[in-house]
Structure 1
Amino acid sequence: MRILHILNRLSSFGNGIVNLAVDVAIEQKKAGHTVAFLTGPDGGYETMLRSFGVEVFKNMQEQTLANLLPASFKSRQVLREFKPDVVHAHMQTALLLVIPWTKLYGIPMIGHLHNVHDRSAHRMSWADRLITVSASVQQSMLDLGVPATKLRTVLNGTVRSPRVPKISDQVPEPLLRPAILTVAGMSHRKGISELIQAFEIVGAQLSEAHLYLAGIGPEKPLFEQQAADSPMRDRIHFLGFTPNPQRLMISSDVFVLASRRDSFGLVLAEAREAGCAIVASDVDGIPEALDGGEAGILVPAQSPKDLAEAILSLLQDDNLRQEWRRRAGIGLERFTVARMTEEVMDVYREVVRSDINR
């Protein structure tokens, strides 16, 4: 099958949507398909993709009002040249630029909704089929009136990603321990403020504990100021962007994802593969990433007290912590890149067989 993925950018700086799209494309190429990306000028993963035989068209410009129309016509040129059997859009702007031409040429369009918290996320449903990353996201689309016949849920998978070394080959990053780690965008939606508050409770009881925050984002200065004002300021560490966060995960004692809202929590699959004892918010798609709480402790969102209690329970009981590490590793086949890619291919086959737009 000839498959064209479209993204606004191919940045390799910690964007989960880009990471997932790259994983799927490489897995498809390894399975014998002809695969290409249509993307913007940011090279990012371009070298890696080309090394696997995935073609990259950098025809999409930065999305400004002035160049939307030229970018759309350049996209048309790629469709005519590459002649895909299916187009897979991972971002809203990319979909909107290309969908007029897929309709014109009768090419099935797949939308992939990675983040439901964008106010205009429903526009992704203009595609012929919409892949949602969790049952929670699918329900959100149903609530907005998107027909169930258009929706297909494919859980995210990162286990055995071609982008990163095997866990057994990775060298742990040295951390001061006991180490509490989060890997997340530095935003209020990811619950960073609540995590810092929870750590103040933890740190008051465990004088050796340290909190590590890996990630970037426009709200990072706000959290750095919050940490600077905290009595635990000397034990809160901002690490910025980390190209391979699993090196941190295998060194940590507890991994935390304190999100207020989260479509799935892609990083949780990575943490499970690394064998982390996990604490995460009981919101949206996060329970699906943790097998309903079987693979990690779920706590109410926006509750520093509950978050702190769960973290303390793991840090103060070695046997309990080891038990949760063990449980994190059960059922990982459900979160492999190979499983995710095969389910994506099933959606492609469905639309190609149905001759949508033809």
Structure 2
Amino acid sequence: MRILHLLNHTNRLNGHVHAAVDLACEQKRQGHDVCIASGGGDFDRLLAANQVATRHLDHERKPLTVLRSLLAFRGHVKEWKPDVIHAHMMTSAVLAYPICKLSGLPLITTVHNEFEKSAILMGLGTRVIAVSESVRRSMQKRGVSADKLRVVLNGTIGAARFANRSTMPADLAKPSIVFVGGLHPRKGLPDLLAAFNTIHGDHPAARLYVIGGGPMENDYRALAAESGGGEAITFVGAIDDPYPYMLAADIFVLPSLADPAPLVISEAREARCAIIGTHVDGIPQLLEFGEAGLLVPPGAPDVLAATLEDLLAEPDTLETWKQRSQMRLETLTIERVARETSNVYRSAMAQPELSLTASQTG
């Protein structure tokens, strides 16, 4: 199969880029011909090393740029001759839609950021991939036909991005609690800071490591400094690979207020952390609905504090939840993601009206 992916860039900044790059590399490994058209970025070298072709396509949202990009993309389609086109963000879907209509090609869209109002435009796809069951339900409520929607749960285990990563745990104080995520309100870090402040008096040896950067970093640093446990909180900043921190962590916490299907849960489970996540969006599904990790309500730092207290006070309970994070890890592999995505492609390619259009234009 010849597959052409569209995304805005290939920089390390966003989870949807990581997911698309992982998928493209795995599809190539599984024997497909794969190309990514984007604005380019950090992962272009990795893509080349994995024999994934790249083409430049500007995604800037200006009228003249969009027109030029439409013409450029039409040229890429004629040159690459894909069997299917896969768009990963709203601008990509808008650029791809008219070209797919003209060429008779199926358009697959993936809803990575369902919380954005513009996500409804992903309904332009012949098939619309939701990255969790929660996202599927939300998109259907917003008017996307159930016939179009397919769920392919995110997973990262075995991804090409991690081929040469370090498996040496970071040197962390014990017991250690780790957060990995963007420092913006959606990730709920203030709730974790408040919870840590609550339990730190009873567990003065505990340390919290905050990994990530973002627009709220200075505010969150100030909030941590004002708390009673501020000296026990380390802001590591944004780093290329937080996996050594997860390998060393006793507890991984993701206190998100909204999160369609965070890739970091897959990594934390692979690293054998005891995991606490909020009961929002795709997090429960990634944690086997509470079997592979503890679920707490979003925006409830008191409940989060009590859950942390239970784990820190009982070493046997902590070890049990580390072991439980390992159940059914095969559901979180990139191999499974690529295989299920190929099934979505085939269902779209078999759609009768597309076959008719292709024969008329071919």
Give the conservation status (yes or no) of the 8 Å contact 2:96–2:107: no
**Which AA in structure 2 matches 1:239?**
V
Could you say which residue in structure 2 is the equivalent of 1:38?
Answer: 37
2:53 is the alignment partner of 1:55: yes
Give the conservation status (yes or no) of the 8 Å contact 2:59–2:91: no
**Which AA in structure 2 matches 1:188?**
P
Could you say which residue in structure 2 is the equivalent of 1:143?
Answer: 141
- The structural deviation recorded for 1:355 is 4.7
Kindly tell me the number of residue pairs found equivalent between the two proteins: 355
SS in 2 for 1:163: helix
2:296 is the alignment partner of 1:295: no
Could you say which residue in structure 2 is the equivalent of 1:156?
Answer: 154
Give the conservation status (yes or no) of the 8 Å contact 2:58–2:65: no
Give the conservation status (yes or no) of the 8 Å contact 2:108–2:128: yes
Q: 2:80 aligns with which of 79, 82, 95?
A: 82
Give the conservation status (yes or no) of the 8 Å contact 2:108–2:127: yes
Regions of 4+ moved over 6 Å: none
**Which AA in structure 2 matches 1:5?**
H
Question: What TM-score does the superposition give when structure 1 sets the normalisation length?
Answer: 0.96
Could you say which residue in structure 1 is the equivalent of 2:348?
Answer: 351
Could you say which residue in structure 2 is the equivalent of 1:181?
Answer: 178
- The structural deviation recorded for 1:66 is 4.5
Could you say which residue in structure 1 is the equivalent of 2:227?
Answer: 230
Could you say which residue in structure 1 is the equivalent of 2:22?
Answer: 23
Percent identical among aligned pairs is 39
Could you say which residue in structure 2 is the equivalent of 1:119?
Answer: 117
Q: What is the distance in 1 between the residues matched to 2:269 and 2:241?
A: 15
2:206 is the alignment partner of 1:220: no
- The structural deviation recorded for 1:299 is 0.7
Could you say which residue in structure 2 is the equivalent of 1:193?
Answer: 190
Tell me, which stretches of 5 or more residues in structure 1 are unaligned? none
Give the conservation status (yes or no) of the 8 Å contact 1:158–1:266: yes
Alignment of 1:310-325 (within 5 A): 310-325=307-322
Q: What is the distance in 2 between the residues matched to 1:52 and 1:166?
A: 13
2:72 is the alignment partner of 1:71: no
Alignment of 1:194-343 (within 5 A): 194-343=191-340
Q: Could you list the per-position Cα deviations for residues 320-355 of structure 1 after superposition, in whole angstroms to 9, with x for gaps in the alignment? A: 111101100010001110011100000001111225
**Which AA in structure 1 matches 2:290?**
G
SS in 2 for 1:110: strand
SS in 2 for 1:250: helix
- The structural deviation recorded for 1:117 is 0.4
Tell me, which stretches of 5 or more residues in structure 2 are unaligned? 358-362
- The structural deviation recorded for 1:268 is 0.7
Give the conservation status (yes or no) of the 8 Å contact 1:60–1:75: no
Q: Root-mean-square deviation (CA), in Å?
A: 1.4
Q: Which moved more, 1:104-113 or 1:158-167?
A: 158-167
Q: What is the distance in 2 between the residues matched to 1:199 and 1:189?
A: 19
